[in-house]
Every structure is written in structure tokens, then in C-alpha cells.
Chain A
Amino acid sequence: MDFAKSIAIAASGLRAQAGRMRIISENIANSDSTAQTPGGDPFRRKIATFTSQIDRALDARTVALGPVRTDPSDFITKYEPGHPAADANGNVKRPNINPLVEMNDMREAQRSYEANVNVIGATRRMIQRTLDILKA
């Protein structure tokens, strides 16, 4: 039934956005994670990707979290000679994470999640209204 399918598709969207949220939370939580060895690389920002896939049982295209990629942009360097991860010049490589960008991503994930929840709600209301015909 199409109603059941649309709920299942929206649920796949919920799962995908939840996965994206997990990656964003990893980025935010690790925004200060530096290397343990002098001159080593710190945490590298992760980027969530989404793929459209065909669900054989549903005969519909659902969304899933694709491979998690890393952001190849440069690390932020900070002069901090006392830091255990500082290199010979006293520079510490910090993760290439901009909290503002992560906040925006988080807001986007939140909005997409809400949109999918609204799809489920609207579908449920349609089912309910259809069943109400019997009760009249």
C-alpha cells in the first residue's frame, strides 16, 4: 500500500538524518582533538554523504547514509609551544572544524528530520481520514 510505503521511505530519511547528526556530533565533540605525538595530524572533519537506493521489498527509492568522507581541507595551525602535540616550531595542528559550519549542518539535519516526520504525520492523517469514512 502506498501509505505504508511513504511512511517507510520517510523513516529511511529519519534514519539517514540521524546518521548525519551522529557525524556532526563527532565533528563538534572532536573540534579540540589534537594528535598525541608532536607534529602529528589531529582529527579530520568528517562529511556525511547520502545515497538513493532502491528498496526491493518496497519497490521504492529510499535514502541511506553513504560512505563517510573526510574533509581534505587544511588543518588550522596555532602557535602553542607548550602543547604536547606541538612541532619543532611550536605550532599545533588543530582539526579543520569550523563550529559555525557544524551548527549550520546540524540545523539542516534537524530541519530535514522534521520534514520527514511531517511526511509521516501527514500520511497518518490521510489514513485516519480514510478510516473515518467508515465511522460516519
Chain B
Amino acid sequence: MTTPSAAAGAYSALARLADPSAALAKAAGDSDSGPSFGAMLKEAIGSVLETGRKSDAQTHAMAAGGKSNIVDVVTAVSETEVAVEALVSVRDKVIAAYEEIMRMPI
């Protein structure tokens, strides 16, 4: 299962993004040290797609001629489900944080 670890990676990337010292360095004209939010999201979605593709292949193999084991199909699909759910949860949380910041009266 790649994505919970991807989610954890996303969190650490986010922590780096939100690191005040990194933000200061960026403000001072330094080249950006942490990965961008877009890159982080791209990476996370990429790994979810990878698990999705795997489960798709298993399902196709089973539907095509019972070559695949039903246990493999079920575990692959549930793995994808968990991966997507983890990604969605992280996305929701990040967007909630962003909205919180946007609501800040300046």
C-alpha cells in the first residue's frame, strides 16, 4: 500500500511548506527549498493512480477469464479504496486549512 505513506510524505512536505523559517528564506529571495503544494499533490495522486491501475488490471483479468484470484482482486481493490480515501482526507484537510487562512481578516 503506497498511499498512506504518500499521505505521510505529503504531510511532511506540507510541514516543510508551512515551516516559518523556510517561508522567511523564501521571502528573502532564496530559491525555494521545499516542494510546492502542486508537486506534492501530483506525487500523491500519481501513487493513488498506480494502485488504481493495479486493481483495475486484477479486476480485468478476473472478468476476462478467471485467471486472477478473487482474493487478489478484493485486496487490490480495497487497497485502492483506502489509498483514495487517505488522499481525499489529506486534500480536504489542506483545503480547509487554506480556506481558514483566506478567511483571515487583514
List residues of chain A with CB under 8 Å of any chain B CB.
Answer: 1, 3-4, 7-8, 11, 14-15, 18, 120, 124, 127-128, 131, 134-135
Contact = CB atoms under 8 A, between A and B. Distances in A.
B1 A135 contact: no
Contact of A15 (B1, B4, B71, B90): B71
Given A14-B71, A15-B69, A131-B89, A7 B5 contact: no
The 5 closest A-B pairs by CB, nearest first: A4-B1, A134-B89, A14-B71, A11-B75, A131-B89
Interface stretch (B12-20, B27-35, B39-47, B78-86): B78-86
B79 A134 contact: no
A11 B90 contact: no
Given A1-B5, A15-B71, A18-B71, A135 B78 contact: no
Interface string B55-71: 00000000000000101
19 contacts: A1-B1, A1-B5, A4-B1, A4-B4, A4-B79, A7-B1, A11-B71, A11-B72, A15-B69, A15-B71, A18-B69, A18-B71, A127-B82, A128-B85, A131-B85, A131-B86, A134-B90, A134-B92, A135-B89
Interface residues of B, number: 16
Interface of B: 1, 4-5, 69, 71-72, 75, 78-79, 82, 85-86, 89-90, 92-93
Given A127-B82, A131-B86, A134-B89, A3 B69 contact: no
Contacts of A15: 69, 71
Contacts of B75: 7-8, 11, 120
A13 to B, nearest CB: 9
Given A131-B86, A135-B92, A7 B78 contact: yes
A128 to B, nearest CB: 8
Nearest to B82: A127
B26 to A, nearest CB: 27
Contact of A3 (B1, B89, B92): B1
A1 B4 CA distance: 8
